Amino acid sequence: MTDLSEAKPTVSIVEFATRRRGRKRLDWTDWLTYLYLFLGLLVMFTPVLWVAISSLKTPANLTEFPPTLLPYAAQTVVVEGHNEPLPLFDVVGEDGQTRQLAQLRRVGIQAQMIDPANPQERIVVPVGNATPVRQLHLATENYTNLLSSSGGQMWRYLFNSLFITVVATIITLVMNSMAAFALSKYRFRGSNAALVSILATLMIPATVVLVPTYMIVAQLGLVGNLWGVILPTVATPTGVFLLRQYMLTIPDELIEAARMDHASEWRIFWRIILPLSSPALAVVAIFSILSRWNDFLLPLVVLTRRESYTLQLALASFQTEYGVRYEILLAMTTLTALPLAFAFIFLQRYITSGIASTGIK
C-alpha cells in the first residue's frame, strides 16, 4: 500500500547541476558533459545577452567597428564659449607626451582641437594621433525615448499581445485537454483515425492554409479584430498529442472509482485528469505562449488597423522619417522578449515536477 503522506526528498538546483559520475574526483565523462553544457549555454545565451547589452548603447557606440562588448560613450567636457559639450581625446604629441584635448571639428585626416584649460589656442592634430576618451555608460534613455516616441501606443501594443497570448493559451489548454481526454480514456470506433487525422495536419505548412483562414475570418467579420487572430489557432495537434500521451499514463482505475462515486464526466475531467496532467499542461502552455507571442504572419494579414497591432507587428514597422533608429529597435526587442523569459521562469517548476502519487492504494 502506498503511503501518500511520505514526502519525496527534494533536490536543489545546485545539487542537481553539480552531480558527477566520479565520487572522489571528476570523471572524464563529467568534463565532457560540463564542456557540452557550457558550449550550449554560450550558443543559446550569447545572442540574447548581446541584444540586451546593445540596447543600452548609444547610436555612436552601435556603429563602431570593431564593436565593443560593453556600452561605452565618449567623454565630453564643457568649454567656455561653446554651447554644446565637446568630446575629449587623448592626443599623442610630437614629443611623445599625451594630452587631453577637446575636438572642435574634423576635416579629412586633420582635427581642430583646443585645450579645455586654454580654449583660446587652436591646435591642428592628425586624426591618427587622437584616441577618444570613453567611459562606461548605460544609455537608459533608449527605453525612455521608445516610450515617448511611440506616443503611448507602446502600451496598446503590449496589451494586444498580452490579450492574444493569454486568451489563446487558456482556450488552447481547454480545447486540447478535452480532445486528449476523449482520445485517451474513451473507446469508440474511429478514435485512432481521428488521432491520425489530427497528427496529419502537422505536415501542412501554415502558409498553405493562410488564405482559407483569412477568408473564414473575413466572413465572420473579424478582420482587424484581435479575435480574428485568437480563434483560428486555439486547437493545436501538438498539444493534443502531448496531452493524450501523458493522460495514457493516468490509471483507468481512478476514473472507474470516481464513476462508482457517481461523479460526472466533467467532474472527473476537472477534478482528476487536469490536476494530474499539470506537468503536460505546463509544457503545452509554454509552447502556446511562445507561438502566440511570436506570431507574425497571421496578425500581419488579419490585423489591418494600427491600433490593433501586436508588439511583433510594431517591431517590424518601427521606423521614423529619418530611417531606422537601431538603439530604440534593440530596446523594443529586449522589452518584447522579457515576458517570455518570465513565463518560462514561472512555469519551469511545473515542467520538471512529476506526479508524486497516483492515489491508488
3-state secondary structure 258-317: HHHCCCCHHHHHHHHHHHHCHHHHHHHHHHHHHHHHHCCHHHHHHCCCHHHCCHHHHHHH
Q: What percentage of the chain has pLDDT greater than the value 90?
A: 12
Per DSSP, the three-state class of 89 is strand
User: Quick one: average pLDDT of 307-330?
Assistant: 79
Number of Cβ within 10 Å of residue 98's Cβ equals 11
Region of poorest pLDDT, from 8-17, 135-144, 227-236, 328-337: 8-17
For residue 83, give the 3-state DSSP assignment: coil
pLDDT of residue 41: 86
With residues binned 3-state (H G I as helix, E B as strand, rest as coil), the percentages for the chain, rounded to 5, are 55, 10, 30
Sign of torsion, CA 231 336 302 214? negative
What's the rounded mean pLDDT across residues 73-78?
A: 82
- Please give the average per-residue pLDDT across 166-193, as a whole number: 90
**Over the chain, what is the mean pLDDT?**
82
Q: Is 296 within 8 Å of 135 (Cβ atoms)? A: no
pLDDT for position 175: 92
pLDDT of residue 148: 77
C-alpha cell, 130: 587622437
**pLDDT of 348:** 67
Greater model confidence, 16 or 223: 223
Lowest-confidence region among 68-82, 277-291, 323-337, 345-359: 345-359
- Per mean pLDDT, which range of 150-154, 320-324, 351-355 is the poorest? 351-355
> For residues 361 and 359, what is the distance between their CA atoms, to the nearest angstrom?
7
Dihedral in degrees, nearest 10, Cα atoms 314, 320, 321, 322: -140
